[in-house]
Amino acid sequence: MLEIRSLRKVYDGHGRQVEALADITFDVAAGQFVCVVGPSGCGKTTLLRCLGGLLRPTSGDIRVGGRPVSGPPSELAIVFQEYGRSLFPWLKVHENVELPLKAKGLPSAERSRLVGQALEAVGLAEARTAWPWQLSGGMQQRVAIARALAYQPRVMLMDEPFAAVDAQTRADLEDLVRSVWRQFGVTLLFVTHDIDEAVYLGERVIVLSSSPTVVVEDLAIDLPAERDQLNTRSDPRFVELRAHVYSRIQQAKRRAPAQATAPRNS
Amino acid sequence: MSATLLRRTVMVLGLPIALIIIWWFTSANSTDFYQPPLSRILEVFPETWLNDRLLRDVPASLGRLAVGYTLALIVGVAVGVVVGSSRFLRRLLEPVLEFLRAIPPPVLVPVFILVAGIDNAMKVLVIISGCVWPVLLNTVEGVRGADEVLGDTCRSYRIGGVLRLRSFVLRAASPQIITGARQALSIGIILMVISEMKAASQGIGFIIIEFQRGFQIPEMWSGVLVLGLIGVLLSLLFRAVERRVLVWYYGVRAAERGTR
């Protein structure tokens, strides 16, 4: 479903060249849940924006559903980190969820059905006539997720969606994402800086190095499909995997200064 | 009447009533020809205005204001959206726009008379020439300041064209546009009067000038009162519309204040 080959992105501005992504290569099969982790500033958001068609890569090949990405693909939905700013404050919750469907050109009855279904799935059916700014942070992010679901995408990209949310709400939202993924069967690419979250949620975890960013490891998570906050997180296998990812990231961070001093073509 | 409603009415009407009373008593024994007592002004008010003047001149003036103001809104918002959306256009046009908006419209009245004659078209042009600038420049600012995360959301969900304009650009800029529209309303009322002072045959401004020329001073002052009342009524109307359109904006600001 997602194919990324030798993705490279260099930011050019203010007299500085910043190589956000050096060489990223991996695949995601249809219906998979893949988490991407890496040290801060390693270009996770850049990767997501290139995938989502919001940013043009310097070089490399990205394909969604077999077709190369030249702009935002039509079967892809993004959930941004800043939930407060990604919802339209002048639209009520159900109107926010409905707007992309209007852009798609769906008839009104179909739109109502999809909106109702999506709000039901995230547990916000009672809040449909509320204004976004009347809701808490966690609920706002649920609205953003509902909006992505109602759009019926084949691929969902989530950019550190729970970074700005408190820990208990984050736990609820993590479980919500997993249940919604299984219910709707989307291909999910989840970017996060939280190692525990990545191991808890993903079927695979892709570990990135720090700048210049490459894929350090593509780890299969062999935890059972049924996961819950209490038992899975105390599972010895979880602890092992988590420690492994953590040590890989620490290695990647320590290697970075050496790589920075190595000679590079300008 | 409930206590809060009573209190609010007193707050709103208290100062104006107090000022009127002060005016009444300080002017009561005035022998100045140009500043008659308030009692005299109110005495001539009914016979001056509550006749066919009300049906002929006031609607004529207000009609021109309505047309000029509406056209200024349409042109200001349309051009403002185009300029605000393009960094290139903004940099290209900013000096020219600043120059044009700095020219006081009354100064342009003779120019407009030459160009558009002395009829309604000229008067509407004068109103537009003053009203369009606050709307245009505020629209540019409002469009420019639209949240880029919302812009990314629109791009990634492929929301474009008219839907994007209606649901994103215009709504995001609406607080700024409304601010510009409010300024334009005040300017419009002033220009409505000024445009009728040079070459006109009917209208509120025309009547006031006629009274001045004929040394009918109390009647002239009554005209000033009428203008003031019109201004207050239009402002109340504007606020009612603003409250409906910007419900969400007040909500967002209140929510932000609550968490700070």
Q: Which of the four pLDDT bands, split at 50, 70 and 90, describes residue B167?
A: very high
CB-CB neighbors (< 8 A) of A99 in chain B:
157, 159, 163, 167
- Decide if B260 touches A, using CB distance below 8 A: no
Say if CB B84 and CB B139 are below 8 A apart.
Answer: yes
> DSSP character for A126?
G
Contact B156 A72 (CB under 8 A): yes
**What is the C-alpha end-to-end distance of chain A, expressed in Å?**
34
Please write the tens of the pLDDT for every residue from A130-156: 999 999 989 999 999 999 999 999 999
Second-level CATH architecture of A1-75+186-266: 3-Layer(aba) Sandwich (3.40)
CB-CB neighbors (< 8 A) of A71 in chain B:
155
The domains of chain A are located at 1-75+186-266
User: What CATH number is associated with residue B65?
Assistant: 1.10.3720.10
Which range of residues forms the domain containing residue B66? 56-259
Contact B160 A52 (CB under 8 A): no
CB-CB neighbors (< 8 A) of A77 in chain B:
156-157
Q: Which of the four pLDDT bands, split at 50, 70 and 90, describes residue B260?
A: very low
Res B149 pLDDT > 50? yes
What is the mean predicted confidence (pLDDT) over A176-197?
92
User: CA–CA separation, A249 vs A36, rounded Å?
Assistant: 12
For residue A12, list its beta bridge partners.
A17
CA A78-A83-A86 angle, to 5 degrees, is 65
Number of domains in chain B: 1
- pLDDT at position B54 is 67
Among A47, A132, A25, smallest CA distance to A82 is for A132
Please write the tens of the pLDDT for every residue from A155-175: 999 999 998 888 889 999 999
Prediction ipTM score: 0.85
Please write the tens of the pLDDT for every residue from B86-101: 889 989 998 898 888 8
Q: Flag whether B46 is in a domain.
A: no
Q: Flag whether B181 is in a domain.
A: yes
- Read off the pTM: 0.85
- pLDDT at position A140 is 93
- pLDDT at position B53 is 67
- pLDDT at position B195 is 87
CB-CB neighbors (< 8 A) of A52 in chain B:
156
What is the mean predicted confidence (pLDDT) over A47-73?
90
Contact B153 A91 (CB under 8 A): no
Contact A85 B149 (CB under 8 A): yes
User: CA–CA separation, B249 vs A125, rounded Å?
Assistant: 24
Res B164 pLDDT > 50? yes
- Decide if B170 touches A, using CB distance below 8 A: no
Contact A88 B159 (CB under 8 A): no
